[in-house]
Amino acid sequence: MTKSLLLICIIFFQLISDLCAQTVIPNSSFESWTTGNYSNPTGWDTPNEELMAIPFLGFPVVTKSTDHHGTGSFSAKLETKHLALPPLDIPGFMTCGKLSINLTAGTFELTGGVPLTDQPTHLTGYYKYIPKGGDSCVIGIGLTKTTGAIKDTIGIGSFSTRDTVTDWTPFSAWINYLNTSAPDSMNIIAMSTAQEVMTIGTVLYVDDLSLDYTVGFNKTDPFAGISVYNDQETKRLMIFFDFEEPECTTISLINMMGQQVSSRDAGKLLKNRESIYYNAFPSEVYLLEIMHGGKVFSKKFFLNQ
């Protein structure tokens, strides 16, 4: 199955097989890198192999950086670049699945993943982001279960931002579970540009990924105090707020073209519930973005009729 540049940021839920969750993220601190004609973080795939095979014009879009978080020595640096021939903008992209690229057609194929048999609440890690223009990045996780020839999506979560972040900062990608089945596979992706129109020079750094199984309040987490339930029967997103301090809050639902299909000023919220009805919207992926007290919560949902 081949995907376009626009769709690659939402196909991180194609995966395989089963194992224990606490150890499934390969090379999660990006300390190990392959060597040869191109270099990838061990256990991860990137466009580097195909790009570096282009005589004279090739380049990597994911590289080892000594700008790191924590006690390690390295992080993964993802940079959006322009390929001269064929003319194509390439985002920095990495996956713990398998990525195949057709540079002539400008299309991608994403398969595979790593085993997972339990249900984490969210993916955590650290990042820095230096966007150009109006770029946004995404770090996402997808869980699936395969029964015979049928692959079901069990849960999807993502973190996305347009903000410039020059210090190592924690992020959380909370997982929205679509059903109660246990998954058998997981994939994680990261992209320096998560939209069709790219700006060359945008850079995303990623380090120290982990799976979390807690649901407690954490003041350093921009997602703290927010939970979202997709009520598919009534076609609405139910957003529950439980904050320690009342702050001005805005809620927006954005389609994959960057258009706000719903937006409201919810006032100063402490404990409350808000709903967004999506029965009038086309079936596609949307970004829920909540701004509260200077922090931004964002999460992708596939909303269907």
226-303, which class in CATH?
Answer: mainly beta
> DSSP letters of 73-132?
S-EEEEE-EEETTTTEEE--EEESSEEEEETTTTEEEEE--EE--S--SEEEEEEEEE--
Peptide bond into 246 cis (omega under 30): no
CATH code at 3-212: 2.60.120.890
Separation in Å, CA 282 to CA 13, 228, 255, 256: 21, 20, 9, 11
Q: Give DSSP secondary structure letters for 205-260.
A: EEEEEEEE------TT-TTTTEEEEEETTTTEEEEEEEEEEEEEEEEEEEETTS-E
What are the backbone dihedrals phi and psi of residue 260, each rounded to the nearest 5 degrees, phi first?
-75, 115
The full set of domain ranges for the chain reads 3-212, 226-303
Closest CA to 92 of 187, 207, 189: 189
* pTM to 2 decimal places: 0.67
The per-residue pLDDT string of the chain (305 residues; one tens digit each, 9 = 90 and over) reads 344 443 444 333 333 233 333 448 999 999 999 988 899 999 999 999 999 988 888 899 999 999 999 989 999 999 999 988 888 899 999 999 988 888 777 777 888 889 998 888 889 999 999 999 889 999 999 999 999 988 899 888 888 898 999 999 998 888 878 877 889 999 999 999 988 888 999 999 999 999 987 644 455 565 667 777 777 778 888 787 777 778 888 899 988 788 889 998 888 877 777 888 888 888 888 888 888 877 777 777 778 76
